[in-house]
Amino acid sequence: MANSISIFDTTLRDGTQGEGISLSADDKLKIALKLDALGVHYIEGGNPGSNSKDIEFFQRVKALNLKAKVTAFGSTRRKNSIADQDSSLIRIVESGVPAATLVGKSWDFHVRTALQTTLEENLAMIFDSFAYLKRNNVEAIFDAEHFFDGYKHNPEYALMALRKAQDAGADWVVLCDTNGGTLPSEIHEIVSRVRAELTAPLGIHTHNDCELAVANSLAAIQAGARQVQGTINGYGERCGNANLCSIIPNLQVKMDYRCISDEQLQSLTTTARYVSEIANANMPVGQPFVGNAAFAHKGGIHVSAIMKDSKTYEHISPELVGNKQRILVSELAGQSNIISKAQELGLDVTANNDKTKEIMERIKELEHQGYQFEGADASLELLLRDAFGEMTEIFKLESMKLIVEKSNGGMNAEAIVKVKVDGQTVYTAAEGNGPVNALDNALRKSLEQFYPSINNIHLVDYKVRVIDEKDATAAKVRVLMESTDFNNTWNTVGVSSNVIEASWEALVDSIRYALLNMAKIKKTQDEPREQLGLVNH
């Protein structure tokens, strides 16, 4: 198809060059499966001879039977040598990959300065290397490193480098903005010129040093490139690579190109978040298309409008990329936010309702105290359900005591809690590696006999933010907790001038929310049985 675009993912290779990104062989295999399900056409796994992780990856990836072409990475042969005897090229062929990317110099400055060889020898290195791959039946992709800088300084030589790869049988010629300093207008103009000079299909590989990697990739596609290289979430060296999570939906939804299926596009958000979890890297909440705030609305006027028609403040339907609309509730919110959020929870609320106004004032008061519900949806839901009489008291803290001891073995904490559950008073004690961990363990211990499923809940993240810095150690703190049962994730908040009390608030909200959801699930499961008369009341 003329408007089909080949997606080349280099998260596992170029993406791992980003600061703080490190992937084990197992990590790379997990991500490869996710990328394959997304529908990318090429998955660049690394250099099959450069390190033990990559060697293991290429050995094990064969068993996955991916639809995408697993691609090895290397460079053109060493100067003044023979391609057939180049150990890197030999390892690529021996790895059994169907495709390989070789990076080569197309900027005369780099040839002389970095390679320290002649312009003629560099051209020979390109030709020999691609001829070797084609003799061994490997699909060959030429990444013309620093092409745009090279073209601007010496267009004749930059084009000669491309032609050498083409003459040797390269299947793709990819133009690289390696330093990330080229503008979209320049990209479009230069790719158009190259398109007129070459017969081989063109690709584009951009970096984000000027915050233009996505725009540059789109400009290259408009000028005739038919392969786009990038990474999930834009991971990569320095400021990162072109972000496929923005490129793919822009091409497919906005520009009428075909990259992946519509069903696969709906998995884009989960793919982006999965990769960020495996890479142990926080995704920016405002990341376009796939970020948690990409379709979040806070201003009351905005929310009032999207309740009438979401197109008023959303450029696409979030479901197209597997994301969802979110209504944020804060001191800036109007009645529309409260109404929308309450309706989302199935609560009966209408505009100009006294209860709605009361809740708005309560939220404003709490946020003035330091609470923040934008990042604590679970605490907000509990607040709304409490206000509408939808919550029952699951347990009540009667007292708690903490003992923290410093010894030669380190810091230890012990918590003793007294809670009332179903009319019964329960005393429990538990240890932990800190006071919050000890409280968590003690509370779970007191509840597990009544709610065994509580053992499936785990704390994922714990953040403490000082609210009033000027008050030093007496300052109020805000604690945000993220919890999961491996099916869902939720966030809760607590505020106090005592970090233990703030942590306890967030912890209690987390447990209450989890038990609320368990009750919902149980009710859903019991409903068909109720209809058959199989449930005892």
Look at residue 534 and give its three-state secondary structure.
coil
The DSSP bridge pattern shows strands 395-407 and 410-421 to be antiparallel
- Write the single-letter amino acid at 442: A
The structure tokens listed for 164 are 């050498």
Note if the pTM is more than 0.95. no
469-to-5, 368, 499 alpha-carbon distances in Å:
52, 16, 14
Find out whether 264 and 35 touch, Cβ atoms under 8 Å.
Answer: no
Angular region, 533: left φ>0, alpha ψ -120 to 50, beta rest: left
Side-chain-side CA neighbours of 191 within 13 Å: the count stands at 31
Tens digit of pLDDT at every position of the chain (537 positions): 458 999 999 999 999 999 999 999 999 999 999 999 999 999 999 999 878 899 999 999 999 999 999 999 999 999 999 999 999 999 999 999 999 999 999 999 999 999 999 999 999 999 999 999 999 999 999 999 999 999 999 999 999 999 999 999 999 999 999 999 999 999 999 999 999 999 999 999 999 999 999 999 999 999 999 999 999 999 999 999 999 999 999 999 999 999 999 999 999 999 998 898 888 887 888 999 999 789 877 766 776 787 677 788 889 999 999 988 776 665 555 555 666 666 666 666 665 567 767 777 787 788 778 877 766 888 888 888 887 777 777 888 899 899 988 877 677 899 999 999 888 999 999 998 888 889 999 998 999 888 888 888 888 788 888 876 666 656 788 898 988 876 678 889 999 989 999 999 999 999 989 888 776 544 444 444 444 333 333
Return d(Cα 532, Cα 498) in angstroms, integer. Answer: 52
Task: Report whether 122 contacts 111 (CB < 8 A).
Answer: yes
Task: Count H helices and E strands in the chain, helices first.
Answer: 18, 16
Beta bridge partners of 410: 407
Which of 291, 287, 276 lies closest to 27, judged by CA? 276
For residue 368 the two structure tokens come to: 């003035």
Report d(CA 58, CA 210) in Å as an integer: 34
Domains belonging to the chain, first-starting first, are 6-260 (3.20.20.70), 296-387 (no CATH), 395-527 (3.30.160.270)
Residues 6+ apart with CB under 8 A from 231: 9, 10, 11, 14, 15, 240, 241, 242, 243, 244
Nearest-10 Cα torsion for 298, 304, 306, 307: 120
Tokens of 198: 């070459």
